[in-house]
Amino acid sequence: MAPNRKKNSYLKPYLYILPAFVVILVFQLLPMLYAFFLSFFRWDMINVSGPQFVGLRNYLILFQDADFWLSVFNTSVFALGSICLGLSVSLLIAILLSKGIKFLGTFRVAYFIPYVASMTAIAIVWRGILQPRGLLNAAIKLLAGLLPGLIPASLTEIRWLQEPGWARLAVIIFVVWKSMGFNILIFLTRLLDINPSYYEAAEIDGANALGKFRWITWPQLMPTTLFLLTISIIFAFQMFIPVFILTPDGGPLKSTTTTVFYLYKTAFSSNLFGYACAIAYALFFIILILTLLQRKLLGTGSTGE
């Protein structure tokens, strides 16, 4: 009797995780493996003869595809712009909020609402804001009237979604605004957890605000920054909804066509599902390499406490 009880207690944890494992297997692992299998075939879902094996041809075409490399360039621009601007502004706001200001709870709710709101709904609202006669240009025009001579007249009628450079900037601004709440929350949580005695000791030694940030705050934030940097890179390289809603055609001169958006158009507009799967795995390896390089260069970080 005792061996059976011991066996049952050994199997119980696996029975608890079995439903989640089945869902992950059916809806994630098997589709990933099937996509990798299809990347070696030419398949348009129309040909009655089914997928045609082409070996590595899809991957060889990929390396010579100018549109693919343009999408990688656009994605890199979005990643660099949104990560650098987003993390910097989020850290600055988190530091200001950590100084014991009043109504901290209200501020937390206010800056976190955009993050939890529906990406599609918010993008539709922003598409209206970014029109030539939208709210953003109206705000710039109002500011130009209050500060004459500081803002050129040409900046009051920006065609945000109709010109390549402005379209890229518009997408970056939207992504930074949408993700800022999460970044601020993570930074602020870690800032409030830093032992105040570190700062007291630094003040005794005569350290100024910059010195305390350089030698105390920043080292303590390194693991947090590494975490946010990792998920920001993954999100940036998987960006689809902002581009699809703000610039449905991939932007002027394909200026906002990201790799995922190009994958979508290849699969559902060109019906090249095998080639689209090859793009998906190329993107997977790009993200994997960037993540490994980032961990190698920055390290895993340590709080030193």
Question: Is 3's pLDDT higher than 70?
Answer: no
pLDDT digits (tens, 9 = 90+) for 153-201: 778 789 999 999 999 999 999 999 999 999 999 999 899 898 888 888 8
Please report the pLDDT score of residue 301 as a whole number: 47
Other CB atoms within a 10 A radius of the CB of residue 73 amount to 14
Mean pLDDT across the chain, nearest whole number?
87
Distances (CA, A) of 195 to 146, 185, 192, 228, 304: 45, 18, 8, 22, 11
Please report the pLDDT score of residue 12 as a whole number: 81
CA geometry: angle 227, 228, 232, nearest 5 deg = 120
pLDDT digits (tens, 9 = 90+) for 86-100: 999 999 999 888 887
- Angle between the N-to-C axes of helices 259-268 and 273-298, in degrees from 0 to 180, rounded to the nearest 10: 170
Question: Is 101's pLDDT higher than 90?
Answer: no
The CATH architecture one would assign to domain 43-298 is: Orthogonal Bundle (1.10)
Rg (CA), the chain: 25
Rounded CA gap, 239 and 260, in Å?
Answer: 7
Sign of CA dihedral 234, 236, 242, 244: negative
Closest CA to 245 of 165, 175, 164: 175
Query: How much is the average pLDDT of 117-126?
Result: 93
Query: How much is the average pLDDT of 297-305?
Result: 54
Distances (CA, A) of 139 to 67, 132, 135, 157, 196: 36, 12, 6, 11, 41
Please report the pLDDT score of residue 302 as a whole number: 46
Rounded CA gap, 101 and 83, in Å?
Answer: 27
Helix residue ranges, H only, the chain:
2-24, 30-38, 57-63, 66-97, 104-116, 119-129, 135-146, 164-193, 196-204, 209-212, 218-237, 241-246, 259-268, 273-298
Give, for 240, the enclosing helix (H) or strand (E): none
Range with lowest mean pLDDT among 48-62, 72-86, 113-127: 48-62
Phi, psi of 188 (to 5 degrees): -65, -40
Binned at pLDDT 50, 70 and 90, residue 305 comes out as: very low
Query: How much is the average pLDDT of 212-235?
Result: 90
pLDDT digits (tens, 9 = 90+) for 19-63: 999 999 999 999 999 999 999 999 877 776 778 899 999 999 999
Question: Is 304's pLDDT higher than 70?
Answer: no
What dihedral angle (degrees, nearest 10) is formed by the CA atoms of 215, 220, 222, 227? -160
Query: How much is the average pLDDT of 68-75?
Result: 95
What is residue 238's three-state secondary structure?
coil
Ordered by start, the domain boundaries in the chain are 1-29, 43-298
Please report the pLDDT score of residue 8 as a whole number: 65
Query: How much is the average pLDDT of 98-122?
Result: 82
Please report the pLDDT score of residue 205 as a whole number: 82
List residues bridging with 52 in a β-sheet.
42
Rounded CA gap, 204 and 158, in Å?
Answer: 52
Task: For the chain, give the percent of residues with pLDDT over 70.
Answer: 94
